[in-house]
Amino acid sequence: MIIQARFFVESVKRTGHPDGKGGVLGVCEIVTLRAIYSSGPDDPNRSFAEATPQAYMEMTITNREVFGAFEPGKLYDLLFTPKE
């Protein structure tokens, strides 16, 4: 079963990426996303929203080529596919 979920970007914060020893390795973006609840009968997010009305995700991105790919307030669809 493939599960689709619609998330919106709550915030994007650029900061230093910790090296685990109290130092900083370099710049990173911390992206915070929240799931959107939708009950509209034709909304593709409805089945996810009814089963999981609240979800939160945070990503730390260190690849500078991806910086700026996520914008606050924009919507993104995530697909969850099972793997063996």
- Hey, how many other C-beta atoms are within 10 angstroms of the C-beta on 37? 16
DSSP-based three-state secondary structure for 34: strand
Contact 53, 37 (CB under 8 A): yes
pLDDT along the chain (84 residues), means of 10: 85 83 79 80 62 81 91 91 90
- Hey, how many other C-beta atoms are within 10 angstroms of the C-beta on 80? 10
Beta strand pairing call for 75-80 and 56-61:
unpaired
Torsion angle of C-alpha atoms 33, 38, 41, 46, degrees rounded to 10 = 50
Instruction: Supply 32's token pair.
Output: 């915070």
Read off the pTM.
0.72
